[in-house]
């Protein structure tokens, strides 16, 4: 074997190793990448680690309050706010209120309780609470279930005196399906009460419930979408990577070394460090480009204003030019944090119901099914067979009764007999 052949084989081997590492890094979620760099800095002298400290500013009048542990709920709320729009006291109070919202979306502290701990400027609590309760989803920041439901109705301009009265005094009757008691107490006909109850049942008594239950432990978002004045901004949750860099000290030592063995050792470590940092930068560019394409495709679903659109790996491949396998690896086990919610990338991909109906997804069918049942006559609800006919007519698709039953059960909607008043 001549020298030329040996050099070619070594180059091919290096290329292969580089490709393998690139694919592995592409598939890594943020926390795994953090662990990899930390381990590399301990084993490779060329990987230099210089920790940086970032301190959040806080309002002076709140600085002595022991803040609860940071969690996803607080981050979810703060991501929807622009600190430049608030005074320092208001921003400090909003941060604290966000920490006092539980995982169901309820505010766990009152103005009286907070005022007993720290003096608050007049009107500050009410103005900050109003801002909190204007965030997504509707109902967040309420102190009680009735307040939560009324906030949702107010947001959609549907709150009426009748709905407010039923919510304030008859939620237990709704829970037990005792509509006769409500009719008797309010002196209103059954049909009007039934319509009001159906409206209330369509609301969410726990606006954040289930939003952060995708994982049993803290979910570290890999990509973050922020709102800007004109559009949106995509950033990676990897600011800590700036703490890692190539060590100039060891690079100079490598160049100055005359010992072949030491030089070979340094060169191997240098190549590994360079390759790792290069592949991490490639991962950054890939994730940002993919997220931008996915955002353009699913922005209405992410904003919770529409059901998920059918979107496949092939669709994003055609939009970005990346290979399907690259997209699959890049989005695997990764989470996207937005001002509206945090969700796994896999939730944004959904096959169309049929190839010839590329705009129809399972979520679209479920959404229509839910609307049909919500607006049905409660005294004569639709049977599953009737729902099959309505859905098949609307979508021009052969939808089976089994599919309707499956989707209805997944929406926790009882059958027509149990729905009948």
Average pLDDT rounded to a whole number, residues 39-68: 57
Max Cα-Cα span within the chain:
100
Q: What is the rounded distance in angstroms from the CA atom of residue 217 to the CA atom of residue 288?
A: 25
- 195 CB-side CA count, 13 A: 7
Query: Quick one: residue 189, left, alpha or beta (phi over 0 = left, psi -120 to 50 = alpha)?
Result: beta
Give the containing element (helix H, strand E) for 114.
helix 111-115
* DSSP type of residue 355: T
Whether 78 is covered by a domain: the verdict is: no
- 350 CB-side CA count, 13 A: 20
Q: For the chain, what is the domain count?
A: 3
Are 366 and 333 found together in one domain? no
Q: CA-CA distances (angstroms) from residue 68 to 97, 136, 187, 211?
A: 10, 22, 47, 20
Show which of 135, 168, 201 is a domain's final residue: 201
Of the candidates 101, 37, 114, the residue with the CA atom closest to the CA atom of residue 277: 37
Instruction: Considering only residues 287 and 13, tell me which one the structure prediction assigns the higher pLDDT.
Output: 287
**H helical segments located in 226-322:** 248-256, 260-302, 313-320
Question: What pLDDT is stored for residue 154 in this prediction?
Answer: 92
Whether 114 is covered by a domain: the verdict is: no
Whether 158 is covered by a domain: the verdict is: yes
Are 338 and 250 found together in one domain? yes
CB 47 within 8 A of CB 71: no
Are 324 and 405 found together in one domain? no
Are 167 and 245 found together in one domain? no
Q: pTM (2 decimals)?
A: 0.49
Helix, strand and coil content of the chain, in percent to the nearest 5, comes to 55, 5, 35
Question: What pLDDT is stored for residue 103 in this prediction?
Answer: 83
Q: What is the rounded distance in angstroms from the CA atom of residue 292 to the CA atom of residue 315?
A: 13
Whether 10 is covered by a domain: the verdict is: yes
Question: What pLDDT is stored for residue 96 in this prediction?
Answer: 87
Hey, is 225 helix, strand or coil?
strand
Average pLDDT rounded to a whole number, residues 211-219: 54
Give the containing element (helix H, strand E) for 175.
helix 171-175
Which residue in this structure is represented by tokens 């301990």?
A: 42
- 178-201: pLDDT as tens digits: 889 999 999 999 889 999 998 998
CB 154 within 8 A of CB 357: no
Whether 399 is covered by a domain: the verdict is: yes
Give me the domain span that covers residue 170.
145-201
Say what percent of the chain tops pLDDT 90: 24
Are 175 and 242 found together in one domain? no
Are 149 and 242 found together in one domain? no
- 140-174: pLDDT as tens digits: 999 999 999 999 999 888 999 999 999 999 998 88
Structure tokens at 294: 């996915």
Are 341 and 368 found together in one domain? no
Question: What pLDDT is stored for residue 294 in this prediction?
Answer: 93
Q: What is the rounded distance in angstroms from the CA atom of residue 409 to the CA atom of residue 370?
A: 11
Q: 8 CB contacts (<8 Å, ≥6 apart)?
A: none
Are 225 and 295 found together in one domain? yes
Question: What pLDDT is stored for residue 216 in this prediction?
Answer: 40
Are 340 and 376 found together in one domain? no
Please name every residue paired with 227 in a beta bridge, in sequence order, or none if there are none: 232
Range with lowest mean pLDDT among 248-252, 342-346, 392-396:
392-396
Whether 261 is covered by a domain: the verdict is: yes
Average pLDDT rounded to a whole number, residues 208-220: 61
Average pLDDT rounded to a whole number, residues 66-95: 75
What angle, 0 to 180 degrees and rounded to 10, lies between the N-to-C axes of helices 3-27 and 324-331?
50
Most confident of 1-10, 48-57, 147-156: 147-156
Average pLDDT rounded to a whole number, residues 288-296: 93
Show which of 285, 315, 348 is a domain's final residue: 348
Whether 262 is covered by a domain: the verdict is: yes
Are 340 and 367 found together in one domain? no
Q: What is the rounded distance in angstroms from the CA atom of residue 108 to the CA atom of residue 100?
A: 6
Are 243 and 316 found together in one domain? yes
Hey, is 236 helix, strand or coil?
strand
Question: What pLDDT is stored for residue 213 in this prediction?
Answer: 54
Of the candidates 390, 394, 387, 380, the residue with the CA atom closest to the CA atom of residue 409: 387
pLDDT band for position 410 (cuts 50, 70, 90): confident
Show which of 134, 169, 201 is a domain's final residue: 201
Give the containing element (helix H, strand E) for 336.
strand 335-337
Whether 103 is covered by a domain: the verdict is: no
Are 168 and 232 found together in one domain? no
Structure tokens at 273: 């460090």
Find the CATH number of the domain harbouring 367.
Answer: 1.10.10
């Amino acid at each position: 074997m001549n020298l030329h052949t040996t050099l070619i084989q070594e180059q091919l081997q290096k290329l292969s190793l580089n490709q393998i590492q690139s694919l592995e890094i592409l598939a890594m979620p943020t926390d795994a990448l953090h662990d990899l760099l930390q381990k590399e800095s301990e084993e490779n002298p060329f990987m230099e680690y210089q920790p940086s400290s970032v301190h959040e500013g806080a309002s002076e009048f709140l600085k002595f309050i022991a803040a609860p542990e940071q969690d996803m709920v607080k981050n979810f709320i703060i991501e929807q706010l622009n600190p430049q729009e608030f005074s320092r006291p208001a921003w400090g109070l909003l941060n604290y209120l966000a920490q006092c919202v539980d995982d169901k979306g309820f505010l766990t502290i009152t103005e009286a309780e907070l005022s007993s701990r720290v003096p608050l400027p007049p009107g500050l609590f009410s103005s900050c609470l109003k801002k909190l309760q204007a965030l997504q989803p509707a109902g967040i920041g309420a102190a009680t279930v009735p307040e939560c439901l009324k906030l949702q109705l107010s947001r959609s301009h549907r709150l009426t005196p009748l709905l407010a009265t039923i919510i304030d005094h008859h939620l237990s009757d709704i829970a037990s399906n005792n509509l006769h008691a409500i009719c008797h107490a309010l002196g209103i006909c059954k049909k009007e009460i039934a319509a009001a109850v159906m409206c209330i049942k369509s609301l969410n008594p726990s606006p954040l419930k289930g939003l952060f239950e995708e994982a049993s432990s803290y979910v570290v978002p890999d990509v973050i979408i922020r709102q800007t004045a004109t559009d949106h901004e995509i950033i990676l949750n990897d600011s800590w990577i700036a703490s890692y860099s190539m060590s100039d000290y060891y690079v100079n030592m490598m160049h100055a070394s005359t010992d072949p063995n030491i030089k070979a050792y340094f060169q191997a470590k240098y190549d590994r460090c360079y390759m790792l940092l290069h592949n991490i930068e490639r991962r950054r560019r890939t994730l940002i480009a993919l997220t931008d394409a996915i955002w353009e495709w699913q922005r209405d679903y992410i904003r919770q204003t529409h059901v998920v659109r059918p979107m496949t790996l092939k669709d994003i491949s055609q939009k970005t030019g990346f290979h399907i396998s690259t997209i699959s690896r890049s989005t695997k086990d990764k989470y996207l944090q937005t001002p509206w919610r945090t969700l796994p990338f896999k939730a944004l991909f959904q096959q169309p119901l049929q190839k010839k109906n590329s705009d129809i997804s399972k979520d679209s069918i479920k959404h229509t099914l839910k609307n049909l049942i919500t607006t049905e006559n409660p005294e004569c609800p639709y049977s599953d067979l009737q729902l099959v006919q309505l859905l098949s007519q609307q979508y021009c698709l052969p939808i089976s009764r089994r599919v309707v039953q499956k989707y209805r059960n997944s929406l926790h909607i009882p059958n027509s007999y149990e729905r009948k008043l």
